[in-house]
Amino acid sequence: MDRPSDIGRFQFVVLSSLRAAQLLRGCVPRIDGGHKRTVTAQLEISLGMVKQDFTPVAVAVTEAIPALAVAAETPAW
C-alpha cells in the first residue's frame, strides 16, 4: 500500500486510525471490498478519498453558528 507523498508516516497512521474508528462506529466505507476496517481506512487515505481538515475548531464553530462569533468577541465581564 502506497502512502501519499504529501502525508508523513506518523500522520498516515493517526489519520487511518481516526478513519478506522469512524468505520467502527458505522460510517459508510468509500471503497468496495471485503477488507477489515483498518485496511479499508488505509486504502481510502492512500487513494485520496479521505483528507485531514486543519480548520481550527473555534473557526468551524463560529462559521456554523454566527451568534457564537459575537459572543466570542465580546468579553463577559
Average pLDDT for runs of 10 along the chain of length 77: 88 93 94 93 93 72 58 51
4 belongs to a structural domain? no
49 belongs to a structural domain? yes
42 belongs to a structural domain? yes
Q: What is the pLDDT of residue 62?
A: 63
46 belongs to a structural domain? yes
**Could you tell me the residue range of the domain that residue 62 belongs to?**
9-73
Q: What is the pLDDT of residue 65?
A: 62
- Check which CATH number belongs to the domain holding 49 and give it: 3.90.940
62 belongs to a structural domain? yes
How many separate domains does the chain show?
Answer: 1
Q: What is the pLDDT of residue 35?
A: 93
3 belongs to a structural domain? no
Q: What DSSP assignment string belongs to 8-76?
A: -HHHHHHHHHHHHHHHHTTPPPSS-S---HHHHHHHHHHTTS-------HHHHHHHH-HHHHHHHHS--
27 belongs to a structural domain? yes
